[in-house]
Structure 1
Amino acid sequence: MTIVVNVQEAKTRLSELLHRVESGEEVVIARAGKEIARLQPVTPRTRSFDAPLLSSLGSVDANAFLEPATNEELADWEEGHAGDPLTQLQNALGTRT
């Protein structure tokens, strides 16, 4: 997120603005509404991989991605499936092979 502050406000709140920059925000300093400087972290903030990014999805066994697909799964990929919009369009146009 980027916030814009004027020069006087930046002087008054410099410590607070630096804390915000350390937490990953970007601060733009403006004079008379014209952007003149940008405060940003020296090194970009890196994401911690200790916690899952989408925890609501639950855990997934990574080995499951390496197992061969079943014939039914392959057929769904190659031939579409019930309710597949592309299959319905192809059927409607008569272009399904």
Structure 2
Amino acid sequence: MKTASMAEANRQFSKLLRNVVTDGQEVTITSRGKPVAKIVPIDDAAATAEWEEAKKELFDRLAKQPAMNISWTRDDAYEDGYP
């Protein structure tokens, strides 16, 4: 596991992130020598499952909301002389 100061992480973020993505390397970010954050590779299966669950929750919530009756058209939005 690599350790980087906040200043180093700020200067070399793309490089650190590339190492995480390509090598699966974990990077601990420190501030004044104390760990404050960690950059780790994401588990694709878990990420996909989380995405699918979030999408399902969104669609379920949207299905429960009533449709809005909008009484204006796109042309109405431009009737003030805008091209």
* TM-score normalised per structure 1: 0.43
Return the structure number with greater helix share: 2
Computing the radius of gyration over CA atoms, which structure comes out larger, 1 or 2?
A: 1
User: Of the two structures, which has the highest relative contact order with CA contacts closer than 8 Å and spacing of 6 or more?
Assistant: 2
